């Protein structure tokens, strides 16, 4: 067994961990970064999550009616793999080129508050560190569905990206954001997609008009929804799988070629032996941290999805800033500084939101002005017509007393960009009038704000239907 001692040990090569390792290493601090899988160099985002899935979403949307589904899908997966390989190599080089950073392949487990053992085959390495950063992320959660673990036709959000052949009939368990992204993607690739969700309606955390618009878009793409339903069991047949679905009215037996289980994610803490270090976890298994991301053990931090916060790469990036401030700054930065954090579901077109939605604003009891308009009806926004996609809507909520933005939903092409502008406006105190009267490039999606915000109207006091 070899021994090394470093100033900072990072376990897991996610966005927060790798960025922190690079920043501290370039300052001359001695850093060790441990990763158990070569296929995860650079973290989950570039290898199995954000980047490859959005690459597939884009490829699927580009398929024309006459293009062979299987050939198009095979080529899209090859392109996805080439992209992730290049990004993985680039991410490895970015840290390998920093002299103060030692990259270690192996599986880490705590043996004390600031001591870790790393196993790689028969090799064993003992590492002591003044500070340790846990950055091991999450993996897909597996619900207790009879037959699911035994079925050769059941996939999760990672393995479905390499399904072979392209399923002619795909059933997705779960109508959350991940499930809907894959539903749209595979429908555009040419699969017949059915989504089963236990909710009485889709997207329960969104306003009803937004959820209905999303559902209508996906149904237009050929997606079928079975709501207020649960998958009871999955039975493999020689050439297909039978999925038994219990609805409010009856039992349905659906024959499909593949099943994607998209019912959430769980923390990757198995094998870390957190209890050996005295590191506390919550009832879901996520590492408990304070607002400065320190765990129950002083000097041990948790960044990214593993700490139970919002599971976004940009949150992990901000986590690195908080820990970097603890280790090399004045220690004042915290999660409490986060204001108006946007999110995007990459449908085609994307659905993005920041701040309150209309239901939340009404239930808060405050006075609210609402502007809402279908993309197809926005005359001053020709870009969607130019690119041939006029689906969606834009909805903005404004405080009538301050003229400040309370929240916004953008369901449109370029939504992932427009929402960043609205989030910045909320953080910087830019008024709705400023945005309404802004001078924007043409033709662009941003210029829709001129017309949409000109239609601000008071909203009713009673909350909208759940």
Residues with a known catalytic role = 442
d(CA 43, CA 41) in angstroms, rounded, equals 6
Non-local (6+) Cβ contacts of 34 within 8 A are: 9, 10, 11, 12, 104, 105, 106, 108, 116, 118, 127
Q: Report cis status (omega within 30 of 0) of the bond before 350.
A: no
Q: How many other C-beta atoms lie within 10 A of the C-beta of residue 379?
A: 9
d(CA 149, CA 145) in angstroms, rounded, equals 8
Spatial strand order in the sheet of 192-196 = 154-155, 258-261, 169-173, 192-196, 224-226
Non-local (6+) Cβ contacts of 151 within 8 A are: 234, 235, 236, 241, 259
C-alpha dihedral, 235 to 236 to 242 to 245, nearest 10°: 30
Q: How many other C-beta atoms lie within 10 A of the C-beta of residue 295?
A: 24
d(CA 242, CA 235) in angstroms, rounded, equals 5
In residues, how long is the chain?
A: 466
Yes or no: say if 92 and 103 are a contact pair by the CB < 8 Å rule: yes
């Amino acid at each position: 067994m070899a021994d090394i001692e470093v100033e900072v040990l990072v376990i897991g090569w996610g966005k927060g961990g790798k960025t922190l390792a690079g920043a501290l290493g370039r300052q001359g601090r001695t850093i060790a970064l441990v990763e158990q899988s070569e296929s995860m160099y650079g973290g989950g985002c570039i290898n199995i999550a954000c980047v490859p899935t959005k690459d597939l979403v884009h490829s699927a949307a580009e398929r024309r009616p006459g293009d062979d589904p299987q050939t198009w899908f095979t080529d899209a997966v090859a392109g996805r793999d080439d992209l992730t390989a290049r990004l993985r190599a680039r991410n490895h080089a970015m840290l390998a080129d920093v002299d103060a950073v030692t990259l270690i392949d192996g599986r880490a487990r705590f043996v004390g508050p600031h001591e870790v053992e790393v196993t790689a085959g028969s090799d064993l390495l003992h590492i002591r560190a003044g500070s340790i950063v846990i950055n091991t992320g999450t993996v897909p959660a597996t619900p207790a569905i009879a037959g699911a673990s035994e079925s050769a036709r059941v996939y999760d959000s990672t393995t479905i990206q390499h399904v072979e052949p392209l399923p002619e009939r795909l059933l997705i368990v779960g109508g959350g954001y991940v499930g809907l992204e894959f539903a749209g993607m595979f429908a555009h690739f040419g699969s017949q997609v059915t989504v089963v969700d236990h909710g009485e309606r889709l997207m329960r955390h969104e306003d009803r008009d937004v959820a209905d618009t999303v559902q209508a878009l996906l149904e237009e793409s050929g997606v079928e929804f079975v709501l207020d339903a649960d998958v009871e069991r999955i039975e493999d047949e020689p050439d297909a799988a039978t999925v038994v679905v219990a609805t409010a009215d009856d039992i349905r037996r659906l024959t499909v070629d593949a099943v994607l289980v998209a019912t959430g994610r769980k923390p990757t803490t198995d094998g870390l032996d957190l209890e050996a270090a005295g590191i506390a976890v919550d009832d879901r298994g996520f590492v408990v941290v304070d607002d400065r991301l320190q765990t129950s053990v002083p000097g041990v931090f948790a960044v990214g999805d593993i700490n139970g916060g919002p599971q976004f790469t940009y949150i992990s990036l901000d986590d690195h800033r908080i820990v970097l401030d603890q280790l090399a700054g004045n220690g004042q930065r915290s999660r409490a500084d986060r204001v108006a954090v946007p999110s995007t579901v990459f449908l085609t077109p994307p659905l993005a939101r920041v701040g309150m939605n209309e239901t939340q604003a009404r239930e808060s009891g405050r006075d609210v002005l609402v502007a809402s308009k279908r993309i197809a009806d926005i005359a001053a926004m020709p870009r969607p017509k130019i690119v041939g996609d006029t689906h969606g809507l834009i909805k903005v909520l404004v405080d009538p007393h301050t003229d400040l933005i309370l929240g916004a939903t953008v369901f449109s092409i370029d939504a992932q960009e427009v929402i960043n502008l609205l989030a910045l406006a909320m953080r910087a105190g830019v008024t709705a009038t400023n945005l309404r009267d802004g001078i924007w490039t043409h033709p662009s999606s941003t210029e829709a704000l001129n017309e949409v915000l000109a239609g601000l109207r008071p909203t009713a006091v009673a909350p909208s239907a759940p």
